[in-house]
Amino acid sequence: MTAVSPIRVLVVDDSAFARKVLRQVLSGADGLEVVGVARDGLDALEKVAELSPDVLTLDLVMPGLDGLGVLRALASGASMPRVVVVSSAGEESELAVAALQAGAVELVHKPTALATERLYELGSELVEKVRTAAGAVARALPEPAAPPAQTPAAPVARAAAKSLVVVGTSTGGPQALTRLLSELPVDFPAPVALALHIPAGYTEAVARRLNAHCALEVLEAVDGLELRPGRVVLARSGQHLKLERHGAVTLARLDRQPLRTQHHPSVDVLFESAARSWGPDAVGLVLTGMGDDGVAGARAIRQAGGTVLTESESSCVVYGMPRAVNEAGLATASAPLEGMLGLLRRHVR
């Protein structure tokens, strides 16, 4: 038998105590090897060149070159290690989302921004996400540009929606959503609802950054918010997003109940509600991500006569969720991200 090589990890943090805790947590996990630590961004780049780690755990707020600067520098190199951002919500949320858009593949939420013993609480999640990152494809994405300015003279006239698009994604999702939504035109005829697996406290920043770089309006879901053409609604992390239709009006409903899923929000829950409310006019889209969340929802959409599209392996950071849907025989069609707009246009009325 051939021994499996351990996942080589470089810990990057400007706090000596945090470096100690992260090193202890990761060194104690099977299959992981901490090959070094770095105290700031410049040190990190030197250690990457010297040690060639598989995965970086990356602090964002550091003196000199910060975490986002590290990501941008790595993206310009010949090869890019997979990056797991270790961040606290709040003031760091915007920076964390920018890092995910710039190529980081996972995000671990610090229980505190301070160097305290509570850092040990992130242990199991950190280990799991380092392992996930090791199997991901690092795909650097240029900083998204703002969309062309729309003439404010008159609002876009919108007919009643004839289709609904629901999207589910996980690892690599912020990159994929940025690429997809930035291509949707201002007159895209269907409302869009998104479920993204991301720690609580970050979806507001995700929605805000997507809104700044897309022609469509992107909002974090609130209970009772109306879905309509020209609007994208992002499920709030920690809660399920369900869709409720009353004639021509479709409303967002938030649900804190755990139901049967470990994910909050759940792609299955969103898709199943779309199948109930929109039937054959529901279009489900499963993008990059780990696991099989979305399979049950895709089945519900197909049973209701709707359409299920998946992202091709060639553009996925992690080909897990789309693979599960494809292997279950539920995908109507598949395309890489660069071809997804054309695919949507063929299936959205």
Report pLDDT for 57: 97
Residues 245, 106, single domain; the answer is no
CATH code of the domain in which 79 resides: 3.40.50.2300
Residue 152 maps to a domain: no
- Report d(CA 274, CA 327) in Å as an integer: 22
Q: Could you report the per-residue pLDDT of 70-91, keeping only the tens digit for each?
A: 999 998 766 789 999 998 877 7
Report the phi/psi class of residue 323: left, alpha or beta, with left for phi > 0 and alpha for psi in -120 to 50.
Answer: alpha
Report pLDDT for 283: 98
Residues 54, 110, single domain; the answer is yes
- In sequence order, what E strands does the chain have? 7-12, 32-38, 55-59, 82-87, 106-109, 164-169, 192-196, 217-220, 226-227, 231-234, 240-246, 249-255, 282-286, 307-311, 333-335
Active site residue 237: no
Which long-range contacts link 74-78 to residues 24+ away (Cβ below 8 Å)? 74/45, 74/48, 74/103, 74/140, 75/102, 75/103, 75/140
Q: Among the options 197, 240, 263, 264, which is catalytic?
A: 197
Residues 178, 124, single domain; the answer is no
Report pLDDT for 2: 46
Residue 1 maps to a domain: no
Choosing from 135, 152, 178, the residue where a domain stops is: 135
pTM of this structure:
0.91
- Report d(CA 288, CA 138) in Å as an integer: 12
Residues 320, 173, single domain; the answer is yes
Report pLDDT for 156: 54
Residue 303 maps to a domain: yes
| Cα–Cα separations (whole angstroms), residue 340 to 24, 54, 165, 293 | 43, 30, 13, 20
Residue 92 maps to a domain: yes
Residues 211, 334, single domain; the answer is yes
Residues 215, 338, single domain; the answer is yes
Is pLDDT above 50 for 150?
no
Residues 61, 192, single domain; the answer is no
CA nearest neighbour of 15 among 75, 63, 56: 63
Q: Among the options 87, 88, 163, 170, which is catalytic?
A: 170
Residues 176, 263, single domain; the answer is yes
Is pLDDT above 60 for 25?
yes
Report pLDDT for 263: 85
Active site residue 213: no
Q: Which domain holds residue 82?
A: 7-135
Residues 210, 283, single domain; the answer is yes
Residue 107 maps to a domain: yes
Report pLDDT for 208: 95
User: Into how many domains does the chain fold?
Assistant: 2
Residue 222 maps to a domain: yes
Is pLDDT above 70 for 195?
yes
- The residue-averaged pLDDT of 213-231 equals 96
Render 3-70 in DSSP notation, one character per residue. PPPPEEEEEE-S-HHHHHHHHHHHHTSTTEEEEEEESSHHHHHHHHHHH--SEEEEES--SSS-HHHH
Residues 186, 259, single domain; the answer is yes
CATH code of the domain in which 248 resides: 3.40.50.180
Residue 123 maps to a domain: yes
DSSP class of 326: H
Active site residue 170: yes
Q: Among the options 14, 293, 315, 334, which is catalytic?
A: 293
